[in-house]
A and B are shown apart, each in its own frame.
Chain A
């Protein structure tokens, strides 16, 4: 049941961080980002489209990613996102913070 609702279970800001991390791989469109998150988490995390697009808008508004129109693999117009310098910086900060938090949680839970 827990795996069905990744959004609710994620720590705040996690989705933003995941999207940024995925975009380290290069220019990707929304659908590809969602797919990649799902695959890389072994189907454990499923990004709801309802959260993905607001997140992309938010990231763009903050200047962390840039959107550009281009052609997809099967020649369809799609919007590709890429990481900006600010975005890289933010990702570094966010992942450091995330590591701290999860580390702390893990210590308490006795996982570490």
Chain B
């Protein structure tokens, strides 16, 4: 099961992910079309600035997700196989219980309508639009074990280089 991971040190804050997310959730699914749509499409992830760092925040699709637990109408649900938390627009009444419980603040509002929107991990795509758009590969779409393997390789390379440097010195 693949998830979206973030490598914080790589984010340049270009917000390409935000643009791609909005475009993917637009009617036309094209940048030039999306910019003239009314209401405009809404992004579901957010690049924030904190402590001098650029931090892309997006739904973590938590196990036993609090937004699902508090949803009174059953609009929020979690797919038992993929773990993806999604929302049924028809059932959403805009009570914002999900927004109040989300620890990452990534429940948005559909433009002009009292309905929640959130990351659906681009179910129709092989790779979510945000990951695809990220120019520095700050966003990574991988299984947890693949991601850890990648991080281990990076760490190993770093350690090996440092060790070689020390040996030379």
Q: Are A and B subunits of one complex?
A: no
